[in-house]
Amino acid sequence: MKRYIVGTGLFFALFLQSGCSHITMLRTEELRQVRAHVDSLRNDVVKNQERIVKVQEKQSELLRLIRADQQVRFSELDHSLSTLSRSIYESQHRLSKIDEKTQEITKRWEEKARVDSLSEASRETEINNLFDIAHKDFSAGRYDIAVAGFRDLMERYSDSPRAEDAAYWIAECHYARKKYDTAESMLMEYLKKYPEGEHTCVALFKLGLVYDKQKKSRAQELVWRKVVDQCPDSEEAAAIKARMGWR
């Protein structure tokens, strides 16, 4: 009996020892697996941290490049604005100079126009004075002096309307002196130079009188019919009709 008990106890002791060893082995394996998993997780964490660091570095580099590019762009923009500002200032300065020059030129033109106006007025006064003096000589019977005065006016102021008047009155001077051939020549010269002049009608009428003095009745009739045709409402046409009995 005692042997049985001892044997049984020994068996249980061996069984317990064997079970403990097996449990220990199981726990050791589990611990090893846990550690392996932890190590794997740790490696993943490290790798993720490395990735994060690399991403952060890339982001930092990208941010640096962006800031550098912005700085360059801001610098270029500032340069462009400075250039534009200088250009605007220079343009305003030029415009100011142009405005000053324009005002100066305008003043000069206004002064020139004023002087020219005074000169023109003075010129017209002189022309009228010359004509009036020559016409007074004509009225006073000083025909030679009158002709000289009218010719002087024509030579000095050929572009003036008074030159036409002077040309007609030279013919009148010769007619008044009864130099009919010269009067005819002067009247023909006037009509050729001023075919639609202010004195055309009276010059044609006067030419008819010259032909009458020269006994050129046919030439007189032709000229006076021309007066009646060209100047039907004139005093000369009325005088011709009364004298010739024309209707």
* Average pLDDT rounded to a whole number, residues 129-134: 97
Model confidence at 16: pLDDT above 70:
no
pTM for the model stands at: 0.55
**CA separation for the pair 10, 17 (Å, rounded):** 10
* Average pLDDT rounded to a whole number, residues 173-181: 97
**CA separation for the pair 72, 81 (Å, rounded):** 14
| Dihedral-angle region of residue 202 (phi above 0 means left; psi in -120 to 50 means alpha; beta otherwise) | alpha
Q: Residue 55 corresponds to which amino acid?
A: V
Whole-Å CA distances, 51 to 40, 47, 59, 82, 166: 16, 6, 12, 45, 115
How many residues are there in the chain? 247
pLDDT tens figures, 81-106: 677 677 767 777 776 777 677 666 65
Q: Domain map of the chain by residue range?
A: 141-244
Q: For domain 141-244, give the CATH number.
A: 1.25.40.10
pLDDT tens figures, 107-120: 565 555 444 554 77
pLDDT tens figures, 49-73: 777 777 677 777 766 776 777 777 7
Whole-Å CA distances, 63 to 20, 52, 75, 189: 62, 16, 18, 101
DSSP H or E segment with residue 232 = none
